[in-house]
Amino acid sequence: MQEKSVITRTVEAAGGVYAPGHLDELTQIVDFVLVDSVIEETGSREKRLRLLPSRVVVYFVLALALFEDCSYRGVWGKLTAGLVGLPLVRPAVSSLSRARRRIGATPLRRLFEILAGPIAHLGQAGSFYRGLRTVAVDGTLLHVPDEEAITWRYPKRAGESVEFGYPLLRLVVLVECGTRAVLAAAFGPESDGELTYAGRLLSVLDRTMLLLADAASMRTSSPGTSRPPAPNSWCAPPPAGYPPPSGTWATAPTWPGSATASCPSC
């Protein structure tokens, strides 16, 4: 007879209508106190206690990002799967949609601003070079629903006479190398290039960071000039001899207004 192992786990959840508001182990990071304080700060608290309190809705939206291939009902099922024996509501999809509209994007944006940032400890392998925290910019395209309420902002691609495909959203993030922790993010229509959104992230950089930039990131508006990615920050240019797409870059640029004229010596 084969031996069997039984693995059990404990799910920390609040009581009553707040019970579905959790992310299992991730609730240790995005805890109840943090979510409640963000809801209070952004004025997103419900006027009266509902079957879908604002705290639960915030966790539901976060779960939608974790289980992007699941329906509303499917995601709700994952939030409540470990709460067997509790008297839970089973909201209609329309109720979940209205609850999302009720809280809006503001509390989620504020929650991101609080949690985003580097997490690697000093000297962690893959995250530091010569004492500088290595970071990089990366981007992707996401499909959004083909609905009139969205396509005015995120238009579909168009040929000479017809539109085609789903509308696209361009997402660009600044991440910490080694951990992939997100430091900042920007998104908008696909028609704006990746560098446009990358420029909105550079205010996060400081002198403790080394931005690993590819050839396109070093593109300049006029020959013989180089612009810093951010004041008082380091930028590692492409390897010598790497063909530029257009324009030029300096391998050890002097940036007007920056405290240092070149990257750390290797």
- Angle formed at CA 104 by CA 171 and CA 166, multiple of 5 degrees: 40
Read off the pLDDT of residues 162-218 as tens digits, 9 standing for 90 and up. 777 889 999 999 999 999 999 999 999 998 888 899 989 988 998 899 988 765 655
- The token pair at 141 is 């395209």
Q: Which of the 8 DSSP states describes residue 262?
A: S
- Angle formed at CA 29 by CA 76 and CA 32, multiple of 5 degrees: 65
Instruction: Tell me if 60 sits within 8 A of 118, measured CB to CB.
Output: no
Helix (H) / strand (E) containing 138: strand 132-143
Q: Mapping DSSP to helix (H, G, I), strand (E, B) and coil, where does residue 17 land?
A: helix
Q: Tell me the pTM.
A: 0.73
Read off the pLDDT of residues 59-105 as tens digits, 9 standing for 90 and up. 999 999 899 889 999 999 888 887 777 777 788 999 999 999 999 99
Q: How many residues does the chain have?
A: 266
